[in-house]
Structure 1
Amino acid sequence: MLELMTDPQVVLSFLTLAALEIVLGIDNLLFVQIVASRCAPEKQKMARRVGLLLALGTRLILLASIAWVAGLTAPILTIGWFGPELAFELSWRDVILLGGGLFLLAKATTEIHHHIEGAEGGPKGGKYLTFGAAIVQIALLDIVFSLDSVITAVGMAEHLSVMVAAVVVAMIVMIAAAQPVGNFVDKHPTVKVLCLSFLLLIGMALVGEGLHFHIPKAYLYFAIAFSALVEGLNLWARTKQSRSKAQ
């Protein structure tokens, strides 16, 4: 282990993988925050923490089962509607990505409806989610997000200990950021709608991946970063305008 810690290539792969895991974990963090915000106020903090701990646990379990994860990419069904050359090979990974993407699309759409159309009907547009229901939803999507994260980790690092360390460090950063991110999203309704739009985008990307249409992650994160920048400028302008009126 000491030899790994002193190997420059291993240290570089650890730092790179940890940074990438943090970026890949943004969508997981957004989903956890959106679901946790539907719980009763006194249970939201616990739901966020339990949700992210479940995400960490799922990632570590999948890392410990690398051979099984690799087997998920093996075809389980071949659909030859378009002839042998254009046959579609379906794997368990495709099934998980398709199911997770469709669930994310449905969940984000439902949350947008609750947030906007149902704004007058109960807390935050509807009844509070029970703690158990929130954790079940988070756990289901954690599997999808963790699968993508683990496959990325396996492709970037050779040593299991390096993968585990990078995933743990990334999750610690996410847990530390959960509270301030959650408070900021809850404070600004437009930011919450923007986050839900991000989840729609990510859900569509998962469906595309499940159908073998690869969408480079850089495109998704550029769209998210650009939208976040525009919204940040809007919030800054609104704050400046409010201060001018107060004076």
Structure 2
Amino acid sequence: MIEIFSSIDTWVALITLTFLEIVLGIDNIVFISIAANKLPEHQRKKATNIGLAAAMIQRILLLMAVSFLVGLRNPFIYLDTSWVQAGISWQSIILFSGGLFLLYKSTSEIHEKVEYPDHDEEQLKSKKINTLRGAIIQILIIDLIFSVDSILTAVGMTNGISKNPNHALVIMIIAVVISILIMMIFANKIREFIQSHPSMQLLALSFLILIGFMLITEAAHLSHTVVFEQSIGAIPKGYLYFAIAFSLLIEFLNMRLRKNLKD
């Protein structure tokens, strides 16, 4: 287990995944804040902390379940037609469906944030919350919905990082724990930062499009898919890491430039 952390790819994946987990969890933080603000003042912080702690446990359990299914590599269905050949396994099904979901989720979220920026907040405000238990239940439901893209992102970025699937699971769990702890400590500051820099949310959603496409190609590659006598290869994760790092660098430079212009 220790040797996996001697690889630079592991640390790059862990840092990048932790950052993405935080950014992708901003919507969750905003919703949690709205839900908690409906409670009396003395219960708001408690509801936020309990909700995030329960969300962390919920995500770890979901990670274990998804990772188990992804580990099922043996094909159980074979396609052999005149134009496509493939061996379908549970791993490829999870990755392919996850990729499609991320593409749908990211594009629909980008559309809503650009065309209807107050949609999520208005939707949540329409629901009444009067008790601490009610707030925590709604926080868990909201987190369950938002955990799907977060977990699929984690699976996509760590899949194939080691021959032992438990290594990828450990990396994902560490990233989730670190991100949730950071959100618990800096929830309000993180929310304020993203709200003042909405382009970071759009950037994270754009990363989901890349990751979704990578999951689809990875599923085709693991299924040894051949389309019109052309095999489909996997996209090297180094390309994805470079694209994410480069995009973040440009965005931070733009933030610095905008700040200087205001000054």
Provide TM-score, normalisation by structure 2.
0.67
Determine helix, strand or coil for the equivalent of 2:124: coil
The one-letter amino acid paired with 1:177 is: I
Determine helix, strand or coil for the equivalent of 2:78: strand
Task: Note the C-alpha offset of 1:154.
Answer: 5.4
C-alpha distance 211-61 of structure 1, shift in aligned 2 (>3 A): closer
Structure 2 partner of 1:198: 207
Q: For 1:146 and 1:52, locate their aligned partners in 2 and report how far apart those are by CA, in whole Å.
A: 14
Q: What are the equivalent positions in structure 2 for 1:1-247 lying under 5 Å apart? A: 11-14=2-5, 16=7, 19=11, 20-37=13-30, 41-43=34-36, 50-60=54-64, 70=71, 72-82=72-82, 87-119=85-117, 122=119, 127-128=123-124, 131=139, 133-141=141-149, 144-145=152-153, 147-148=155-156, 152=160, 155=163, 168-178=173-183, 179=187, 181-212=190-221, 213-243=233-263
Q: For 1:56 and 1:153, locate their aligned partners in 2 and report how far apart those are by CA, in whole Å.
A: 19
For the 8 Å contact 1:40–1:128, the answer to whether it is kept is no
Determine helix, strand or coil for the equivalent of 1:75: coil
RMSD: 3.5
Per-residue CA shift, 1:149-175, capped at 9, x if unaligned?
775575268xx6x87765554333222
Determine helix, strand or coil for the equivalent of 1:87: strand
Determine helix, strand or coil for the equivalent of 1:233: helix
Task: Note the C-alpha offset of 1:38.
Answer: 5.2
Structure 2 partner of 1:5: none
Task: Note the C-alpha offset of 1:210.
Answer: 1.8
C-alpha distance 136-90 of structure 1, shift in aligned 2 (>3 A): same
- In structure 1, list runs of 5 or more residues that go unmatched: 1-9
Determine helix, strand or coil for the equivalent of 1:78: strand
Task: Note the C-alpha offset of 1:111.
Answer: 1.1
C-alpha distance 222-95 of structure 1, shift in aligned 2 (>3 A): same
Provide TM-score, normalisation by structure 1.
0.71
Q: For 1:96 and 1:232, locate their aligned partners in 2 and report how far apart those are by CA, in whole Å.
A: 34
C-alpha distance 189-239 of structure 1, shift in aligned 2 (>3 A): same
The one-letter amino acid paired with 2:179 is: M
For the 8 Å contact 2:70–2:90, the answer to whether it is kept is no
C-alpha distance 154-113 of structure 1, shift in aligned 2 (>3 A): same
C-alpha distance 216-54 of structure 1, shift in aligned 2 (>3 A): farther
Determine helix, strand or coil for the equivalent of 1:155: coil
C-alpha distance 50-99 of structure 1, shift in aligned 2 (>3 A): farther
Task: Note the C-alpha offset of 1:50.
Answer: 4.4
Q: For 2:57 and 2:157, locate their aligned partners in 1 and report how far apart those are by CA, in whole Å.
A: 15
> How many matched pairs?
223
Determine helix, strand or coil for the equivalent of 1:79: strand
